[in-house]
Amino acid sequence: RKEVEQDPGPFNVPEGATVAFNCTYSNSASQSFFWYRQDCRKEPKLLMSVYSSGNEDGRFTAQLNRASQYISLLIRDSKLSDSATYLCVVNGDNFNKFYFGSGTKLNVKP
Amino acid sequence: EAQVTQNPRYLITVTGKKLTVTCSQNMNHEYMSWYRQDPGLGLRQIYYSMNVEVTDKGDVPEGYKVSRKEKRNFPLILESPSPNQTSLYFCASSVSQGGGYEQYFGPGTRLTVT
């Protein structure tokens, strides 16, 4: 079983739509959770960390559900510039090891 | 400008010819890591380093070596490259070990082994 699993998509949505991604992780001892964004085989860049209480940054909201072992990312009012691949990242019980999902591709269309 | 640099950016080589991919960061970060990215598999961690002279294996260390003699540099060494090591490689650094910090990634090195 993979440590982190994501729906690969693609998610094709119109501008202004709300879209949500989920990511499940297998290690209940994981403590750190992140969403990264990756544009067309460029380097990943941090979008947001995910905290137990949930957190919001502008149009982006991240949530953690420890009981069901998943994290989610909600994007409101999608922009063309949001088109990218979104990577879910979780650390292992060795906190220095990181596991990446294979990414969910988002295409925002005019 | 805070950054992680990798060299070379592109490399085509032949099976068995030793190569080194360099990684350097100017942010005085303690933690550095190497990943490879393959289609459908996401990024997989090869090795990481918590500080100078402290390294450990990630998920896919076979066929790779690393060293951390200085804080800023973390080279990845392929002693005898094979075609299954053809991949996109990323180096990353983070302010500290412990897992809770943002990782900053280099621009990537696209390696082809024929």
- What confidence tens digit (pLDDT) does each residue in B22-75 have? 999 999 999 999 999 998 888 999 999 999 999 999 999 999 999 999 999 999
Set of chain A residues whose Cβ sits within 8 Å of the Cβ of B44? 100
Tell if the CB–CB gap between B98 and A41 is shorter than 8 Å. Answer: no
How far is CA B67 from each of CA A105, B16, B41, rounded to the nearest angstrom?
A: 35, 20, 26
CA nearest B108: which of B86, B92, B85, B84? Answer: B92
Read off the pLDDT band of B98 (50, 70, 90): low
Amino acid A53: pLDDT: 83
Amino acid A104: pLDDT: 96
Report yes or no: B56 at the A interface, CB cutoff 8 Å.
yes
How are strands ordered across the β-sheet holding A55-57?
A: A4-6, A19-25, A70-75, A60-65, A55-57
Mean pLDDT of B81-104: 88
Which residue in A24, A34, A41, A43 has the most chain B C-beta atoms within 10 A of its own C-beta, making it the best mutation to test that interface?
A43
Mean pLDDT, chain B, integer: 94
